[in-house]
Structure 1
Amino acid sequence: MAQITAALVKQLREMTDSPMMECKKALVQAEGDIEKAVDVLRTMGIAKAVKRAGRDTNEGTVATFVSEDGKTGAILELSCETDFVGTNPKFTGFAAKLAQVVAEQNPADVDALKACEMDGSTVDAELTEMIHVIGENMKVMRFQRVSVENGALASYIHLGGKIADIACFEFAKAESAAADEFKTFAHDVAMQIAATAPVAASRDDVPAETVEHELSIYKAQAAESGKPEAIQEKMAQGRLEKYFKEFVLCEQEFVKDSSVTIDGLAKKTSKDLGDEIKVKSFVLYRFGE
């Protein structure tokens, strides 16, 4: 069993906003396993959600790039040493250029990216030059290229680059991509993703292990009620439905208008354009995770 240190209790408290003593009890019950301790607190109904606190080890930014035709894009995380540099336009601009290289040259990994051509040189040489100019170490932490054949992409950057995403939309008519109605819808959906951090675009895309894990928590909570098993099952399923509505993008209430869901917004936009607009997927990066 891992030692229950004050630092571990503090970390659990920051992650769950739960009382210090309850955190300590949960860690004892979970034998020092912080992830299991979170589940203990959730089962007890003390922790409602888990923050992603305490994972940032440095500073930096998340940048995105989407091609002019909206078909290809990339998201990239670039780290540095201080917040001052992390918000410097020269640094954030360089990160955006790196994202463009990823989108256009499709490197397999960070080493392949460093070998890519950039401004008549290589990414590695340009990165080294940027380190010398700014005077801080920098590192490409991760990136992902995104493309769509029949549709378009949209990106959104929040909190000065601490959160960013690329949303992928599919539709039948090529001209829909240029329509103002689609552009507004795509921007709003990308903003929604940054604001709410959904786990998937549709419930079918939620990993089976995530569904099983959530259901096990809800069943344990229902068991605490002492009600008949059939009622407990309905309670657990009801809470799972609530989970989908809260964490599945297309089922979420639109942050700008709670009377409509993202799926409802997609249907309205589809009707306006005489096309079928679908929110296919998204990539969300939160800096330091």
Structure 2
Amino acid sequence: MSISAQDVKTLRERTGAGMMECKKCLTEAEGEMEKAMELLKQRGLAQAEKKAGRTAAEGVVTSYIHGNGHIGVLVEVNCETDFVAKTDDFQSFARDIAMHVAASNPEFVRRDNIPEDRVQSEKDLIKAQSADDIAGKPDHVVDQILDGKLNKALSAITLLDQPFVKDPDKTVEEVTKELVATIGENVRVRRFERYEVGEGIEVEQEDFAEEVKAQLGEE
């Protein structure tokens, strides 16, 4: 079927993909825009996997301060070239990641950053908490239950595994891969630091009445 130049242009503007790839996907989708977008998405994610091994040493360090000034985040996001690092798409993504860290409070960037002793402690805790659920069940069923709970627990503390705060239907990793498909370069969230006012400080709770009495007794 014939694909109009306007449809190709529209698909390119909506996805950032190349003109030829847009036309190819529209042809395969028989002109259906949403179907063509899904095809581009699928192929983009595949391309993202191929680009994942490429060196990404450029990028930005950006920050996000929560409105009340109680939470602040610094995040480093890398790409392959300084040109891409300066684009609106890349810088917007970096800001979104910083905002996500502020909101979701992950502890690690990716699963392989989690120390073995932390993984083991999570396993031990889950096993203890699941004693009633696994009692009397076959070993293979017990393993499935514990593995599922462990995966959920580790995902909750891992940035790339968390539901993206601006689109909870996607993980942060999926959003990252979509950006790779758009800009054509490897993108890697390298590290982050999250600060929260008062975090880690043990506040001593004093009985005000007793303090006043002590002061009066000294006079």
Deviations 1:115-168 (A, max 9, x none): xxxxxxxxxxxxxxxxxxxxxxxxxxxxxxxxx953211111114221111111
Correspondent of 1:155 among 63, 72, 89: 63
Asked if the contact 1:222/1:232 (under 8 Å) is kept, the reply is: no
Asked if the contact 2:58/2:85 (under 8 Å) is kept, the reply is: no
Q: CA deviation at 1:204?
A: 0.7
Asked if the contact 2:57/2:80 (under 8 Å) is kept, the reply is: no
Structure 2 counterpart of 1:230, one-letter code: H
List gaps (5 residues or longer) in structure 1. Answer: 1-147
Q: Does 1:229 align with 2:147?
A: no
Deviations 1:4-61 (A, max 9, x none): xxxxxxxxxxxxxxxxxxxxxxxxxxxxxxxxxxxxxxxxxxxxxxxxxxxxxxxxxx
1: distance between equivalents of 2:115 and 2:74? Answer: 20
What secondary structure does 2:68 align onto? helix
What residue number does 2:174 align with? 264
Q: Does 1:246 align with 2:169?
A: no
Asked if the contact 1:192/1:254 (under 8 Å) is kept, the reply is: yes
Q: Deviating runs (4+, > 4 A) in structure 1?
A: none
Q: CA RMSD in A?
A: 1.7
1: distance between equivalents of 2:83 and 2:66? Answer: 28
Asked if the contact 1:164/1:285 (under 8 Å) is kept, the reply is: yes
Q: Does 1:206 align with 2:102?
A: no
What secondary structure does 1:234 align onto? helix
What residue number does 1:277 align with? 187
Q: CA deviation at 1:191?
A: 0.4
What secondary structure does 1:161 align onto? coil
List gaps (5 residues or longer) in structure 2. Answer: 1-55, 200-219
Q: CA deviation at 1:229?
A: 3.2
Structure 2 counterpart of 1:179, one-letter code: T
1: distance between equivalents of 2:57 and 2:102? Answer: 24
Deviations 1:207-247 (A, max 9, x none): 22221111111112232221233322221110111123222
Q: CA deviation at 1:173?
A: 1.2
Asked if the contact 1:219/1:232 (under 8 Å) is kept, the reply is: no
Q: 1:176–1:210: structure 2 CA closer, same or farther, 3 Å change rule? A: same
Correspondent of 1:179 among 59, 69, 87: 87
Q: Which structure has more strand as a fraction of its residues? A: 1
Q: Greater CA radius of gyration, 1 or 2?
A: 2
Structure 2 counterpart of 1:170, one-letter code: N
Structure 1 counterpart of 2:119, one-letter code: V
Asked if the contact 1:219/1:233 (under 8 Å) is kept, the reply is: no
Q: TM-score, normalised by structure 1?
A: 0.47
Correspondent of 2:165 among 255, 258, 264: 255
Q: CA deviation at 1:174?
A: 1.1
2: distance between equivalents of 1:221 and 1:191? Answer: 33
Structure 1 counterpart of 2:115, one-letter code: P
Q: CA deviation at 1:266?
A: 0.9
1: distance between equivalents of 2:141 and 2:191? Answer: 35
Q: Which structure has more helix as a fraction of its residues? A: 2
Q: Point out which structure has higher relative CO (alpha carbons under 8 A, 6+ apart).
A: 2
What secondary structure does 1:160 align onto? coil
2: distance between equivalents of 1:245 and 1:262? Answer: 11
